[in-house]
Amino acid sequence: MPATAIVSPIMSTSKVHCISLRVFDRGSTAVLSVDDSIYIFINCQIHPQWPGLKVIRLVTLAFAGSIGMTFVILGCALPAYQTWWPLFVVLFYILAPLPTLIARRSTDDSESNNNSCSELAIFITMGIVVSSFALPIVLARSPPGVGTIEWGACYLTLAGNFVVYLTLVGFFITFDQDSTDYSMW
């Protein structure tokens, strides 16, 4: 079933032009009719831009990040655990996107992804991400009886890590286009 978008009429000095646009095959074929003339576009790219879509994406990412931080805080503050050592992973959350952001600012050729600066940034970022997953496991595997954190706190912190890093990846994927207002980040 083709999607139809009706564009408002264009007012000129002498006459009103009626324009309608029909999109077929998920954007690959479009039929544009202006008054009695019909124009067919094949293999065209039609990108609907809804201005509120960026805001919805940003709010969704903020909500997901807050859920991840809630898991980490629950791993620290629940009465069964009563230890704040897992909160050190927040330092890794702050450090993880920094190498990628610095590498994007320092490279002149944004189309080339095979330069050494971006590969070094990815390597450092992966080291930070692995460290944030390893820290709660190391804290939970401390000697028996004198464990720094309980395994329940470890699991809650790992769940928080997973959600927060998915949020960071979603941010970089969603706002990576140059045409958005958020590309300065």
- Give yes or no: residues 67 and 154 share one domain: yes
Q: What are the backbone dihedrals phi and psi of residue 180, each rounded to the nearest 5 degrees, phi first?
A: -85, 160
Query: How far apart are alpha carbons 78 and 69 in whole angstroms?
Result: 14
Q: Are residues 18 and 96 in the same domain?
A: no
Asked if residue 132 and residue 180 are part of one domain, the reply reads yes
Does the pTM surpass 0.85? The reply is no
Residue 47: inside a domain: no
Domain of residue 29: give its range.
3-42
pLDDT tens for residues 28-79?
Answer: 555 555 556 655 555 555 555 566 777 888 899 999 999 999 999 999 999 9
User: Do 159 and 81 belong to one domain?
Assistant: yes
The alpha carbon dihedral of 151, 154, 158, 164 has a sign of: positive
State whether 169 and 86 are in the same domain: yes
Residue bearing tokens 């286009």 = 177
Give yes or no: residues 121 and 173 share one domain: yes
pLDDT, tens digit, 9 for 90 and up, residues 109-153: 555 556 888 889 999 999 999 999 999 999 998 886 666 899 999
* Closest to 104 in 3D by CA, of 172, 39, 58, 161: 172
